[in-house]
Amino acid sequence: MHRKLARYQGQTLRDLFTARKDALRESVSIPESLYYPSDLWHVYLKLDFEKAYENASNQKDATAFLRNVGKAAQIAEDVFSQIDGALIEAQGSMIHLLLPGNLPKPDLVGICKVLDTRLDKEFKEHDKVNSWRMTSDVGKTVLVESNGIHEDSSFVSLGKAANRPAKFLYKEKLSKAEESRTLKKRHLGVYNPSIRRWDCLDLSVMQESVETVIKAANFSAADLDVTVRGVESMIKQAQAVPIEEGQGAPTNEQPNVYFGWVMRADLDGFTKKVEECHDNDDALMELALDFRNLMDKAANFAKEHEEMLIQLPWAGDNFTAVAVYGSKKSYESAAQEELVNLSLDFDNALHGDATNAGFTGWAQGVAGGDVHGNANGNVFLGSVSIPGRRFLLGAGVGVGRSLQAFVDMDPSPQQFAVLKEDCDNLLKPYQSHLTDDTKADKTSSQLYRKGRQEDLQKAREEIRQKISPTLTPTKTAITVAGMGKVAASSRPYAE
């Protein structure tokens, strides 16, 4: 099976996305959305927003957030497509791009410098986007297309090189003060496998003194020439291409607004399995097939669950769904119980599939947040559109905080980390099992509480037992003139 696909090794990204796609589909045993392992550069761009925008609590801030991520994504796609690169996912303020794996390291630095220059020009006011950081690594990668999720065009990439930069970026961005970070603003961190650490280059000074930056990265003299030329020409090329307006709804200017909460489920053991597949195409392909199967199961769960769910694109091994409601009242009424029930349902439905595939289970981060009195919603759904493709993008307190839950709390498999303000609105039996405030760094969290699936499942049974008798209203037999005997069910009233 894998030999049959071997001829596609070495293909360019353009091939992957367009020309060879139909040929790949001819293979009966490989899902149409799975691509054979290729050497790729992964570049993650993380935008640093002003605090109000990252966890936007109103439509104005959310729109500003989505608009600026959209701009950055379009610029990034624009720049990277100049040298056969592509944007494959946009997750909140993080954008994931690919470049061909045979691109020399200095050219990678060069193209990232071009991107930095374009971003600096776009966000020179620094009123919403303060700065940005990038990380990069190269290696064998399988791409899995997130088919059929509300017309989203994201790809999930499996491979050590795909995981490592994202993890480094989050670890750097969310858990440390700026002065103590290795990866500072407008820096690019490139993984150096020989010394197993990150070389961090200051992109903001590069234009003034390219030579210094290149030397700092220990690149060869030959590389230097290429890079200097490359940077100059690429800047010219990239600036010559205007950003095209994307199509499709929802847009970032008019995002869809909902009341709801966000449930993220992280497939535990995924990174370890990816690392075990290092330099083993067959193992990586097998992992991709297992993962694709889990993606299908998770998508079915989202489609079939009784709550109205919107599935956001996978972020690596992270499944994300938004439970949405049409009014503040119905959201608040449901959230007191269903916020935990949904997570339990997901775990009950997919735990077995995960463990059967050799993973340890799902850890979850859940957040909705209190809704301000006159807010028209707390979850905002926009999209990043680039020619021919669209990426769904969420904004709001729940979107940001549910992701942060993993960094802050590091929940284990079958453990849920829930935003404290959501815990306070839950039914008492759930609250009594969401008490663990231990953060990943062993300090106490003011923001989150953790609970175990097993305990919360027991609490659910207790709630069911107590609620159950109240669900069938008592009937009273009465005689009504003109109707005869009537069984009148209890139905309270309020003027």
Partner 1 sequence: MLNISDLFVKSLSGYFSNVKCTRPKKHPDYRVATCDLVTSQYTIELTIVFNPRNLHEEAPIIFCDEPWIRRDINWHWFIPRKCPVCPNTHRLCWINPVEWRVAHGKKLKIRLAREGSLWLYNNTRDLLDKHWIGNELGIKLWRDDWPQWSHGEPEKNEFADEIQIKGKPTNWEVLQ
Q: According to the binding rule CB under 8 A, does residue 492 interact with partner 1?
A: yes
- Measured from the CB atom, the residue of 258 and 380 that comes closer to partner 1 is 258
Q: At what angle do helices 397-409 and 160-175 cross, to 10 degrees?
A: 100
Cβ-based neighbour number of residue 114 at 10 Å:
29
- Interface with partner 1, residue 222, by CB under 8 A: no
For 26, the 3-state DSSP assignment is coil
Does 484 participate in binding partner 1 (rule CB under 8 A)? yes
Checking DSSP bridges between strand 187-192 and strand 129-145, what pairing results, if any?
parallel
Binding-site size for partner 1 (CB under 8 A) equals: 40
Distance linking the first and last C-alpha atoms of the chain: 70
Does 237 interact with partner 1 (rule: CB under 8 A)? no
**Binding flags for partner 1, 270-299, as an x/- string (CB under 8 A):** ------------------------------
> Rounded to the nearest whole angstrom, what is the least distance from the CB of residue 400 to partner 1 in the complex?
25
Q: Choose between 221 and 481: whose C-beta lies nearer to partner 1.
A: 481
Cβ-count burial 200-228 (b if 16+ within 10 Å, e if not): bbbbbebbeebeebbeebebeeebbebbe
Footprint (CB under 8 A) of partner 1, residues 359-378: none
272, 329, 380, 422: residue in contact with partner 1 (rule CB under 8 A): 329
Answer for the pair 418, 451: CB distance below 8 angstroms, yes or no: yes
By the rule CB under 8 A, 220 interacts with partner 1: no
- d(C-alpha 368, C-alpha 15), whole Å: 40
Least Å distance between CB 83 and partner 1? 54
Cis bond upstream, residue 250 (ω within 30): yes
Q: Where does residue 316 fall: left (phi above 0), alpha (psi -120 to 50 degrees), or beta otherwise?
A: left
Stretch that binds partner 1, among 236-244, 281-289, 374-382, 424-432 (CB under 8 A): 424-432
Please pick, from the candidates 243, 407, 427, 447, the single residue that binds partner 1 as defined by CB under 8 A.
Answer: 427
465 interacts with partner 1 by CB under 8 A: no
Report the residue number, 7 or 475, with the smaller CB distance to partner 1: 475
Q: Does 428 bind partner 1 (CB under 8 A)?
A: yes
Query: Is 176 near partner 1 (CB under 8 A)?
Result: no
Does residue 177 touch partner 1 according to CB under 8 A?
Answer: no
Does residue 260 bind partner 1 (CB under 8 A)?
no
Q: For residue 180, give every residue at least 6 positions away whose Cβ sits within 8 Å of its Cβ, in sequence order, or none.
A: none
| Diameter of the chain measured on Cα atoms | 101
Backbone angles phi, psi at 144, to 5 degrees: -125, 125
Stretch that binds partner 1, among 4-12, 196-204, 332-340, 441-449 (CB under 8 A): 332-340
Among 11, 431, 438, 457, binds partner 1 (CB under 8 A): 431
Interaction between residue 345 and partner 1 (CB under 8 A): no
| Interface with partner 1, residue 479, by CB under 8 A | yes
Smallest gap from Cβ 259 to partner 1, in A, equals 13
Helix (H) or strand (E) holding 64: helix 59-80
**Between the CA of residue 370 and those of 17, 307, 312, what are the distances in Å?**
41, 20, 21
Chain positions contacting partner 1, by CB under 8 A: 329-330, 332-334, 336, 425-429, 431, 463, 466-467, 469-471, 473-481, 483-495
